[in-house]
A and B are shown apart, each in its own frame.
Chain A
Amino acid sequence: MSTVRIEIDGETLDVPAGITVAAAIARVERPFRRSVKGHARAPFCGMGICFECRVRINGVAQQRACMIAVHEGMQVVTDD
């Protein structure tokens, strides 16, 4: 399987092409976001409904990590 190189919270990693940003974050066991009261949250519905997996992708905030596939050079910032 071909891979793409992305960056998550400054860490460079190679992940299989075609997987979602959510799957890539899970592979490095990073948290996804903090809730309004500061609790750690991670993907829940898996299909773009619950918005629990929101992260910053290429500078754009509030992106659903479960809806977007990884791309070469992508920069992901989680909300930890």
Chain B
Amino acid sequence: MTEHYDVVIVGAGPAGLAAAEAALAHGARVAWLDAQATAGGQVWRRDVEHGWPPRAQRVIEYVTQHANATWMPQTQVVTAEASELLLQNESRAWRISYDALVLATGARELLLPFPGWTLPGVTGAGGLQALAKQGWPLAGRRVVIAGSGPLLLAVAATAKRHGAHVLGIYEQASAATVHNFAQKLWRWPGKALQAVSLRARLAGIPYRCGSIVTRALGDSTLQLIEVDGPRGVERFECDQLAVGYGLVPNVELAHALGCAMKYEGAHPCIEVDAMQCTSVPHIYAAGEVCGIGGHDCAWLEGRIAGLAATNASIGASLLRKQHHARTFAAALREYFALDPYIHDLSEPDTLICRCEDVPLRALEDYDDARNAKLATRCGMGACQGRVCGTALAELGRFPRSGLRPPLFPTRLATLGELHSSCSQGSIP
């Protein structure tokens, strides 16, 4: 049987939480779900030692304890049809329907290939932060953080808090660019304060600009890295390398629902109007999935979406704040644009598709994702091209294609559920 809710919210990060809070305050019956076991999303991910950030904890408690809210943790959307989602958790599959749907599916990291990136000990930057918050042992380990953007500072702070010996932060943007960006921060006082506080916590940790990790080396685990920067090419030992080149919106569900997309660089994000409404009636989207904008943006847009989804009025000041938050996102994109050098780090034998072990060499003759996949299995593995497809799009090879249900690897029993409850069902 299908469970029905006034508002269904996919994603329990800042955008989803703000949407849930707003919808609940206007009397809606709300279901909110997330693939993770605890609410907070990536940016407000609960730390097993230190809990949630105070701001996150307040809203998570409000939403979790609200009588009209149904929280569905560790739940993934398998596929979507007219006004219905098919869900799966550890033990069952079921359908829910809605009057309004809010997509707050957030973003994943932009993970780009370089020689050695598949070695154990190499992770994403946000990836290492997520692992550390969930108990990954870092005490006394030599950690290098690299890639681009202010996230690197937050990752370093988390690693340090968990006892890591952070050897350095390597930012690909030039020192002049980072300096110019810092000069503009006064326009967003909250961000400026955050930056100052992070820098204070990271005192003593080198922050090197114009520096790119070009290689990771080791027998069966990471031992050595190579960095190319203003001081030339250096090699040094470390135990853990965390590299992230920014974020990419998670648009797979929106794509399945037929929402119109726009592009930020090589990557699609959902197109929305001022009320966060997508091109599909009754489907709203908020936060990173509408373009990478950070958690302030996500919070404000989630609130707008939650209000719009319950037909509540939306104040002009809320819309103004959202617009201002988006200007910060635009500045980030401008100042932390990737050096083309990063697109060219892979060698012919560097694995591009980590699931199927497909090297760059095998992809040279293809100019579209489908043909490459048919001939080499690139993008055919468990991550469904989330890593390699996104990387190849960023590298300018070919756009990711072939998104189709199930949106995540799914149990056969779940597909049986889909079939048995469809009048003329078929797996597309």
Residues on A facing B (Cβ under 8 Å): 1, 15-16, 18-20, 22-24, 26-27, 31-32, 35-37, 39-52, 54, 62, 66-69
Contact A52 B137 (CB under 8 A): no
Bound together, the chains give a CA A41 to CA B135 distance in angstroms of: 19
B-side interface residues, number (CB < 8 Å): 38
Contact B130 A49 (CB under 8 A): no
Q: Which residues of A contact B49 (CB under 8 A)?
A: 1
> Which of B55-63, B354-362, B395-403 is near enough to bind chain A?
B354-362
Distance in angstroms from A28 CB to nearest chain B CB is 10
Query: CB-CB contacts of B117-139 with A at 8 A, as 1s and 0s?
Result: 01011111011111100111100
Contact A45 B134 (CB under 8 A): no
Contact A40 B109 (CB under 8 A): no
Choose from B36, B126, B220, B356 the contact partner of A67 (Cβ within 8 Å): B36
Bound together, the chains give a CA A68 to CA B38 distance in angstroms of: 11
Contact B221 A52 (CB under 8 A): no
Bound together, the chains give a CA A54 to CA B218 distance in angstroms of: 22
Contact B354 A22 (CB under 8 A): no
Closest to B390 in A: A49
Bound together, the chains give a CA A36 to CA B312 distance in angstroms of: 52
Bound together, the chains give a CA A66 to CA B37 distance in angstroms of: 10
Contact B131 A66 (CB under 8 A): yes
25 CB contacts below 8 A, A to B, read A1-B49, A23-B131, A23-B136, A26-B136, A27-B137, A31-B120, A39-B357, A40-B220, A41-B120, A44-B122, A46-B124, A46-B126, A46-B128, A46-B131, A47-B108, A47-B109, A48-B36, A50-B354, A50-B383, A50-B386, A50-B387, A51-B355, A51-B409, A62-B409, A66-B134
Distance in angstroms from B400 CB to nearest chain A CB is 13
* Known interface pairs A26-B136, A52-B354; A46-B48 also in contact (CB < 8 Å): no
Distance in angstroms from A63 CB to nearest chain B CB is 9
Contact A48 B354 (CB under 8 A): no
Q: Which 10 A-B pairs have the closest CB atoms?
A: A19-B135, A42-B120, A23-B135, A46-B127, A46-B130, A51-B382, A37-B357, A46-B131, A20-B134, A18-B48
Closest to A31 in B: B120
Interface of B is mostly: loop
Contact A67 B48 (CB under 8 A): no
Bound together, the chains give a CA A1 to CA B386 distance in angstroms of: 36
Contact B37 A62 (CB under 8 A): no
Contact A67 B74 (CB under 8 A): yes
Contact B48 A43 (CB under 8 A): no
Contact A51 B123 (CB under 8 A): no
* Known interface pairs A20-B134, A26-B136, A26-B137; A45-B124 also in contact (CB < 8 Å): yes
Q: Which residues of A contact B220 (CB under 8 A)?
A: 31, 40
Distance in angstroms from A6 CB to nearest chain B CB is 13
Residues on B facing A (Cβ under 8 Å): 35-37, 42, 48-49, 74, 108-109, 111, 118, 120-124, 126-131, 134-137, 220-221, 354-357, 381-383, 386-387, 409
Q: Which residues of B contact A43 (CB under 8 A)?
A: 123, 127, 131, 136
Bound together, the chains give a CA A69 to CA B134 distance in angstroms of: 9
Looking at A26, A49, A62, the one whose CB has the most chain B CB atoms below 10 A away is A49
Distance in angstroms from A73 CB to nearest chain B CB is 16
Q: Which residues of A contact B120 (CB under 8 A)?
A: 31-32, 40-42
Q: Which residues of B contact A45 (CB under 8 A)?
A: 108-109, 111, 123-124, 127, 387
Bound together, the chains give a CA A39 to CA B121 distance in angstroms of: 13
